[in-house]
Structures are given as structure tokens and as C-alpha cells.
Structure 1
Amino acid sequence: MGSRDQKAESSGGFFSAIRSWGLEVINPDGGTEDAEVEAQKGRWRQEDRDSYWKMMQKYIGSDITSMVTLPVLIFEPMSMTQKMAELMEYSYLLDLADECEDPYMRLVYVASWFISVYYALQRAWKPFNPILGETYEMVNHGGITFIAEQVSHHPPMSAAHAENEHFIYDITSKVKTKFLGNSLDIYPVGRTRLTLKKDGVVFDLVPPPSKVNNLIFGRTWVDSPGEMILTNLTTGDKVVLYFQPCGWFGAGRYEVDGYVYNAAEEPKILMTGKWNDSLSYQVCDLEGEPLSGTEMKEVWRVADVPENDKFQYTYFAHKINSFDTAPKKLLASDARLRPDRYALEKGDLSKAGSEKSRLEEKQRAEKKIREAKGQEFVPRWFDASSETAPTPWGDLELYYYNGKYTEHRAAIDKSDSIEEVDVQTTEFNPWQFGDLTAE
């Protein structure tokens, strides 16, 4: 331990208190000699941070997915149903995959598409938990129609469907967490299916877990160490990419490396790069070495991003929040219309907090009505099935897209009499019952 840390301990200072609690403040750019300074950084005021830590201590070791009410000062003005759509930013990679004749290059394109979203996932701000029945629609991007819906409240689960002329994307999404004090492990208990329309090949994704570091003390940052496995269920070919953990002085942070394998598990193409910057590929021999006469080629690069953006948003993230991506006659359940999200976007934390509480009270009120009527919640755009899917982190109840949104949207788009939605006058309404008393 450096003399600076010894001085902090002997004086019974702030860093000494953190150490006595058994918390670790991890600096992704340096060592322990500046850990005291690192611990003081972050978005929390000290009095807020200390009181929040006292409340959170009892949850260490627990899954806090839906059991803790969090302050809006750690939120971003986006709901999880919206964040699910961020994967669509580089959808041109799937168009290329669908048009590609080489089965291994298809995997390069598809794997790069799944990697591309990690630039957005590194944001340390928390999205709003979706209200049951909340939706998110997106059009006007790559010919894609995207619909997401919150299909379960306990446990929190979302389902999404996206489609254009080249691909069909479906996901049932659920996360498990483990609160470790000053960090949070996040396990993606979800199932993904991607179908390329030209040849009908189907892909399955198993992503790595993520870790949110310095959750309460220090600069919050996200890492996703581990393997991502993408399998072509039609042919048996697959991609295995390893996300390097952030090491000492930031060594290895963002780096991802691996191979495209054929069904016989022979390496065909090597892939390397950084998930916050770019990915490249090169044909390789059976030993995994670059094939003589070939060269490394770039397949994907992060688009330009705004400078000094308050929430570290990309231009696409701003587009997701915009009504420019909204279709005609936007569903009243759309996350853009959430008053808490909108207030936070406008910088009014007080109103964002009160509106968040009001929505949560309405959600509880509707649950009471449903229970009194003996009714189960029924999603509009996805159907629950009796089927479960195994994942590395537990079994998952599956929801399937029922096609009704496609019919709904087609009918709307054919109409010439639909007025555009005005966020100032359209009330957020995901509720199935209209007599809620909570105001």
C-alpha cells in the first residue's frame, strides 16, 4: 500500500471507511496509489452516496433486478425497451450477411453486428425499468420495423421483434443480477434468434455477462469479460469471441479476439479488434494463423459520436428518443411518452422522480385490479408459451411474436387520416384498465 493510502487509513478518512466496509474501488486506468482520489469521483454527492450505501448494504449478494427503488440521478432518459433497439444501429451488417454467399463471412458480419452494440452498453447510466405493457416502436431506419414490449413485471422481462427485407430478429430478454457492494454482476438470461431471409439460416447468441464497477464510490464503468458464442443453428458453424477483462492500468480493456469455426470446429477466419472502436478479420489456416497471401480487413467501425454528451449518447441513441423514428399513430404505451423519461431528458430531476413514483404507483394499482378480477396480464404483441429455453444462467420462459403488430402497422400506414403524435398532448398509457386512481 502506498504512503497516501496509509495516511488516509491513519486519519480515519473517507477511503479508510470504504476499506473497512470491504468495498473495492477499481480504477480502469491506473493502480491503487490513486484509489482515494478515484473513490471521490462520480455523480453522487457525498451525503447522497453515504445514505444510499447504508440502504444498500443489506442487499449484498442479492439479485436486485426489481427489488430496489433507485434515485433518478443515476438514470438516463431512456427506457430498457428503447435500449433494446440500439442493436439496430448497424443493421446494414445483417443486410450484407443476407446477401453474402460465403457461410463464414456471414458469421463475420452477424458477429460484428452483435459486437457493435457494446459501445452503447458501456454507458454507466441506468435506463428506466419498463412499466408492464410499455412498448417501443421504431421505423425510418434501414427499412426496419421494430417493436418491443414489457411482457412481465415479476420477473422483469421484455420481448422484441425486428424485421426488414433481409432479416428477422426475435428476443426474449431477462437479466439476473448480483449486487456485490460497489459493483454489480449482470447475467443476460435471454434467448436470441436471428434469421436471414435469403437462405433461411438461423443464428443463436450466447453473450458474456457484464460487470458494473464503482457503482456507488468512484467513476462508474462497465466491462463484459468472457465469451460470446454465436451459432448457425442451420449449419453448425459458429463464432467464439473472447472479451478480454480490463487488466492492470487498463490493459486489455475493450479488446475482443476469436475465430469463425466450421461445423467440425476447424478455424476458418480470425477476428480481432476493440468493441469500442472497430473489428477486423482475416482468413486463417487450421492452426488459426493468418493464411499466406491474405490481409486483415476491417468489417465494422464505430460511427462518429457527439462530443461531451451529457449521457454519453451516440447520434443513434438520440435518434431513438426522437419522434423522427416514430411511426404514424404511435402507440400510447410507447416509452418516448413516459413523463419521467421526458422530464429527465429536459433536465428536471425533481419532476422525473415524482413522475417515476406516480407511474410505479399506477402499476401497483393496476396489479390490484387485475388480482381482484382474477386476471393474468396478457401482452398485446407477443404470446407467452409453455416452452422454456436453457441458458448458462438459468431457464428462460419464452415469448413469441404473434404477428399482430405487423397487421396493426400495415392498417395504420394505409390510412391517410392519421394525425402525427405530439409529445406535449399525448399521455403515456400502457394500462389495461382505465379506472386507476393513482395520480
Structure 2
Amino acid sequence: MVTEGKEERTAVLTKPFSIEGESDVDHKPPNLIQRILSLFTNVRPGSDLTRMQLPPLFNVPKSQLQCFSEPLYCVNNDMLERCNNKNNPVDRFCAVVAWNISLLRPLNFGFAPYNPILGETHHASRGSLNVLVEQISHHPPVTALHATDDEQNVELLWCQHPNPKFYGTKVETEVRGKRLLKLLNHGETYEMKSPKLLIKFLPVPGVDWVGKDTIQCHESGLSAELDYGSKYFFGLRGGHRSIKGKIFETSTMRPLFEIDGQWDRTVTVKDINSGKFEVIYNAEKTISGLKTPIVKDQREIWPSESAIVWSEVSQGILSKDWAKAREAKTAVEEKQRELLRERESKGETWVPKHFTVSYSNESGWDCLPIRMKVPPAPIIFQL
């Protein structure tokens, strides 16, 4: 429980996104499609949607920071440990490819998480893996993530900037920025990007990950290219969320493995030389039936924690008290506007608490953690 003046607020946590997707949602409002289409009546094609404020009817009861980081710690098996424990660079690279695929979750059409406020944080742990996320910019929205695992000697550094745009019958979100995974025991750094998030309204509503993804490790000289296909091919449901790609030597472009499967089912690699197949990822085993994280100690939760900032909004959504949710969300947003006005009147610049931030036209946003290690969190995912 966090006390702000005389106000006591309790963290509200909800189930992480898992393989169940839309069947796992219990807070759908009525007439959802009509409400969604009504939002875009006055939006021009190609418009930047990062400043668009959604009413709570269209929100899942959690922040984008939670959605961004949950795939790291809300899993049924430790795929990062598998990456670290492989004996040779090729096997480790294949394991990293599988781990990268495991970060994707089936999302629910018609719902979006809360846009994080400036300085909002999410701090959670799974075993020895500790994860910290901070919203370091609001316009444009930029999120920094740092995760460390002392037992595995693994570190993650992410800095991402989603860029959603409206194109008549769809919204496409390009996820700019890079993700770094460091296997420190092996002196290897893996740099990866993200596919696009596609939200289609017509002819069949749906949400999918589509487009290209890349993974590269300079130390091992290996790279991967992944291509994600839509489930809604020519508007017909029932297809699989396909993934195809290859792993190759970076210097010669010589292919070593072919990747094929469905990222919400199973993915295999084929050794081009031997013809041998191996299942490297099973979504059902990894992300099905995920439990809700718990609060280990309410007293240790920061006031900036997502589950605290949006607690009253989430309570309203979960109880389907839309008036309460709308009032609470307006209060959060108006408080941020007030703080912005105060900073501007004093000529102050907001500074992130957990990261140092830089920006250049050539490389974009860069975020470095202030502390070498992320401490254990009061919010935990139970093994």
C-alpha cells in the first residue's frame, strides 16, 4: 500500500497476456467494434496516434510498461537460462532466437494499455531476474528497460519508441529502437529489433505482429532474419500466425538454418547441412495459463509504479464502473498536465530517475541505466 498525503492506494495487478488471448478477457464493453470505428471518424490517414487519449472503455487494466516488460518475467520456463547454458555459439544463437520469439503475445482486438505518464515505472522480479522499466519521454513516448540476473550473469538493455499511424482500415505501429541481450559469461551481445504491430478493422477485425525482425551477434558472427505473417490473410480467419526466416553467417551470408512455424504454436529450425529438424519453441508450454503476479511487500512499492498510478482506473474497469474509471483516468492525465505547466513556468527540465538519456538524428534514442544492477522487486511472478 502506498500513501500519498492522506490517500492510500493499493497496487492493482491483472493477468499477463498469454496464449489464450481474447478468450482470457473478462472486461469487454458492449458494441466494441462500433465504438472503435467511432474513434477514428475525424482522424486523417497517416496521422500520428501517440497523442490520442482513449476512454477507459478501450483500455486493458494495465499500463504499456507492464505489457512491455511482462514477456520477460511472466513465463512458465526460463528460456534465458537455456540461452546461457548452451555450450557453443551456434546453439546459443538458436536459443536466443527462440527466446526472442517468446516475447510475442497474442493481443486482444479493441483494447489498448494505458499510455504511461512521464516518470512512471514498473519493477518486477521472477526468481533471480529483476526487471525495471521507466517512461523517459512522453511526447514522443519512449520507454527504457534494464534487467539483470546475477545468478545467470545476464543483462538486458532496451530503449524503444512506438510510432503508431492510422491508415483508414488499419493502424500500424512501428516499434523503433533496439534491444540488447548480454550473455556476460560468454562475452556475447545480441542486438534485436521488433516486428510491427498491425491492428485491422476491415474486412475482419484483428491484431497481429507482422513484418521483419532481425537478430545479430558480432562476437559469434551470426545473424537471423525473421518474417512474421498475418493471421488474417485476405480477410479470412483461421490461418496461423506464421514465422519464417533463416540463421546465417554474417560475413559470408551463408545460410545455416531455416526457421519455420507459428509463433503462437511451435517453431522449428532445420539444419541446412544435415536436414535435421528441431523444435526450438513451444508457445503452449511457455506462455499458456500464466498466473497473475503478486505483491510481496506493499510498503516497498514506489509511488511511480504502474500498478499504483493506474490503480483506481483499473478498479473501475474490472468492476465495469465506467464512470469511476473515466473520472480516475482524467485525474491522472490532468495531474500530468499540471506538473508540466509547473516545470515550464519554472524553466525546469524533467530528468529520468533510473536512466541517462541521449538522442541523435543518426542513432535515435539511447538509454543507459544509472545503476549496474536492478534490485529485487516487491512485485514477483511466482515460479
TM-score by length of 2: 0.81
Matched, 1:104 2:80: no
Q: Which has the higher strand share?
A: 2
In structure 1, the partner of 2:322 is 349
Q: How far did residue 122 of structure 1 move?
A: 5.9
CA distance in 2 between partners of 1:123 and 1:51 (Å) = 15
In structure 2, the partner of 1:178 is 165
Matched, 1:374 2:347: yes
CA distance 1:116–1:46, change in 2 (3 Å): closer
CA distance in 2 between partners of 1:404 and 1:329 (Å) = 20
Q: Secondary structure at the match of 1:119?
A: coil
Q: How far did residue 106 of structure 1 move?
A: 1.2
Q: What's the CA shift string for 1:413-433, capped at 9, x where partnerless? A: 9xxxxxx89xxxxxxxxxxxx
Residue number among 379, 403, 413 corresponding to 2:371 in the alignment: 403
Q: How far did residue 46 of structure 1 move?
A: 7.7
CA distance in 1 between partners of 2:96 and 2:298 (Å) = 27
Alignment of 1:29-40 (within 5 A): none
Q: What's the CA shift string for 1:98-134, capped at 9, x where partnerless? A: 1112212212111111111222446652010001111
Q: What's the CA shift string for 1:271-293, capped at 9, x where partnerless? A: 221111122223222xxxxx25x
Amino acid of the residue matched to residue 296 of structure 1? E
Alignment of 1:23-102 (within 5 A): 44=31, 48=35, 51-54=38-41, 57-66=42-51, 68-88=52-72, 89-90=74-75, 92-102=78-88
Alignment of 1:37-436 (within 5 A): 44=31, 48=35, 51-54=38-41, 57-66=42-51, 68-88=52-72, 89-90=74-75, 92-121=78-107, 124-139=110-125, 141-164=126-149, 165-166=151-152, 167-214=154-201, 220-245=205-230, 246-248=232-234, 249-250=236-237, 253-263=240-250, 264-285=252-273, 291-292=274-275, 294-303=276-285, 315-316=290-291, 318-319=292-293, 322-324=294-296, 329-337=300-308, 338=310, 339-386=312-359, 390=363, 396-403=364-371, 406=374, 409=375
Q: Secondary structure at the match of 2:82?
A: helix
CA distance 1:123–1:49, change in 2 (3 Å): closer
Q: Percent identity?
A: 22
In structure 1, the partner of 2:23 is none
Q: What's the CA shift string for 1:358-386, capped at 9, x where partnerless? A: 11000000001111111111110011125
Q: Is the 8 Å Cα contact of residues 46 and 165 (structure 2) preserved in structure 1?
A: yes
Q: How far did residue 302 of structure 1 move?
A: 2.6
Q: Is the 8 Å Cα contact of residues 191 and 204 (structure 1) preserved in structure 2?
A: yes
For structure 2, the 5+ residue unaligned runs are 1-28
CA RMSD after TM alignment: 2.8
Alignment of 1:2-41 (within 5 A): none
Q: Is the 8 Å Cα contact of residues 106 and 208 (structure 2) preserved in structure 1?
A: no
CA distance 1:397–1:276, change in 2 (3 Å): same
Higher relative CO (Cα under 8 Å, sequence separation at least 6) belongs to: 2
TM-score by length of 1: 0.71
Q: How many residues are paired up? A: 343
Q: Is the 8 Å Cα contact of residues 92 and 142 (structure 1) preserved in structure 2?
A: no
Q: Is the 8 Å Cα contact of residues 280 and 300 (structure 1) preserved in structure 2?
A: no
Q: How far did residue 211 of structure 1 move?
A: 1.0
CA distance in 2 between partners of 1:221 and 1:372 (Å) = 44
CA distance in 1 between partners of 2:37 and 2:205 (Å) = 16
Rg bigger for which structure? 1
Q: How far did residue 152 of structure 1 move?
A: 0.7
Q: How far did residue 323 of structure 1 move?
A: 2.1
Q: Which has the higher helix share?
A: 1
